[in-house]
Amino acid sequence: MFPRVILKGTMIKKSQQKKRTSPSNYKSRFFVLDTQDLKYSERRPGRKPLVKGCIKLNTIKCAEIVCTDVPIPCDFKYPFQVFHENHYLYIFAPDNDCRQRWVRALKEETKNNNLVAKYHPNFWMDGKWRCCQQTERLATGCHVYDPVGYASKKPLPLLPDPESEPEEGQRIVIALQDYTPIGVDDLPLQKDHEYVLINGSHADWWAVEDGVGNTGFVPSTYVALKYGNNFERFEWYNKNITRGEAEELLMKEGKEGAFMMRDSRQAGVYTVSVFTKAPGSNGEKNPRVKHYQIRQAETGEATYYLAEKYLFSTIPELIHYHQHNAAGLITRLRHPVSLDKRCSLDVSDILKDQWEVDPEELTLGRELGSGQFGLVLEGRWRETKVAVKMIREECMSDDDFKEEAKVMMKLSHSKLVQLYGVCTQRSPMCLVFEFMEKGCLSDYLRAKKGRISQDTMLGMCLDVSEGMAYLESSNFIHRDLAARNCLVSKNNEVKVSDFGMTRFVLDDQYTSSQCSKFPVKWSAPEVIRYSKFSSKSDVWSFGVLMWEVFTEGRLPYENRTNAEVVESLNSGLRLIKPRLAPDAVHQLMEWCWKEKPDDRPSFALLLHELASHTNL
Q: Provide CB contacts within 8 A for 246, sequence distance 6+.
A: 238, 260, 262, 273, 289, 291
Q: What is the largest CA-CA distance in the chain?
A: 81
Q: Report residue 142: phi and psi, to 5°.
A: -115, 0
11, 67, 197, 487: which one contacts ligand ADP (CB under 6 A)? 487
Site string for ligand ADP, 451-480 (x = CB under 6 A): ------------------------------
Least distance in angstroms from the C-beta of 608 to ligand ADP: 28
110, 372, 465, 534: which one contacts ligand ADP (CB under 6 A)? 372
**Polymer length in residues for the chain:** 616
| CB-nearer residue toward ligand ADP: 497 or 562 | 497
- Strand locations in 294-438, DSSP E? 295-296, 304-305, 311-312, 335-336, 362-371, 374-381, 384-390, 419-423, 430-434
DSSP assignment of 212-226 equals TS-EEEEEGGGEEE-
- Does 328 contact ligand ADP by CB under 6 A? no
DSSP lists the bridge partners of residue 364 as 379
Least distance in angstroms from the C-beta of 374 to ligand ADP: 6
Least distance in angstroms from the C-beta of 439 to ligand ADP: 4
Helices (H) and strands (E) in the chain, counts: 13, 31
371, 510, 560, 564: which one contacts ligand ADP (CB under 6 A)? 371
Count of positions on this chain that bind ligand ADP (CB under 6 A): 20
DSSP assignment of 230-262 equals --TTSTTEESS--HHHHHHHHHHH--TTEEEEE
| CB-nearer residue toward ligand ADP: 159 or 364 | 364
Which of 37, 398, 480, 508 is the catalytic position? 480
| CB-nearer residue toward ligand ADP: 10 or 485 | 485
- Does 99 contact ligand ADP by CB under 6 A? no
Residue 346 appears among annotated catalytic residues: no
- Does 188 contact ligand ADP by CB under 6 A? no
Of residues 390-419, those binding ligand ADP (CB under 6 A): 417
- Does 368 contact ligand ADP by CB under 6 A? yes
Of residues 124-183, those binding ligand ADP (CB under 6 A): none
Least distance in angstroms from the C-beta of 505 to ligand ADP: 9
Least distance in angstroms from the C-beta of 503 to ligand ADP: 12
What is the C-alpha separation between 475 and 484, in angstroms, rounded?
Answer: 23
- Strand locations in 70-214, DSSP E? 78-84, 87-93, 118-119, 124-125, 128-129, 143-144, 172-175, 194-199, 205-209
- Does 387 contact ligand ADP by CB under 6 A? yes
Least distance in angstroms from the C-beta of 126 to ligand ADP: 31
Least distance in angstroms from the C-beta of 474 to ligand ADP: 20
Best CA proximity match to 498, nearest among 386, 359, 389: 389
DSSP assignment of 444-511 equals HHHHTTT---HHHHHHHHHHHHHHHHHHHHTT---S--SGGGEEE-TTS-EEE-STTGGGGB--HHHH
Instruction: Count CA atoms closer than 13 A to 525's CA, side-chain side.
Output: 23
Of residues 1-40, those binding ligand ADP (CB under 6 A): none
| CB-nearer residue toward ligand ADP: 11 or 419 | 419
- Does 582 contact ligand ADP by CB under 6 A? no
First to last CA, the chain: 78
Least distance in angstroms from the C-beta of 414 to ligand ADP: 14
Only segment of 55-63, 72-80, 264-272, 368-376 that touches ligand ADP (CB under 6 A): 368-376
At residue 424's C-alpha, the angle toward residues 423 and 426, to 5°, is 80
Least distance in angstroms from the C-beta of 360 to ligand ADP: 22
What is the C-alpha separation between 210 and 580, in angstroms, rounded?
Answer: 54
Best CA proximity match to 270, nearest among 222, 330, 227: 227
- Does 254 contact ligand ADP by CB under 6 A? no
- For residue 372, what are the CA distances in angstroms to 333, 501, 504, 542? 21, 10, 10, 21
| CB-nearer residue toward ligand ADP: 302 or 487 | 487
What is the C-alpha separation between 497 and 480, in angstroms, rounded?
Answer: 10
- Does 373 contact ligand ADP by CB under 6 A? yes
Closest CB to ligand ADP belongs to which residue?
A: 371
- What's 158's DSSP letter? P
61, 84, 290, 389: which one contacts ligand ADP (CB under 6 A)? 389
DSSP lists the bridge partners of residue 42 as 50
Site string for ligand ADP, 427-446 (x = CB under 6 A): ------xxxx--xx------
- Does 498 contact ligand ADP by CB under 6 A? yes
Which residues of this protein are in contact with ligand ADP, per CB under 6 A?
368-373, 376, 387, 389, 417, 433-436, 439-440, 487, 497-498, 501
Catalytic residues: 480
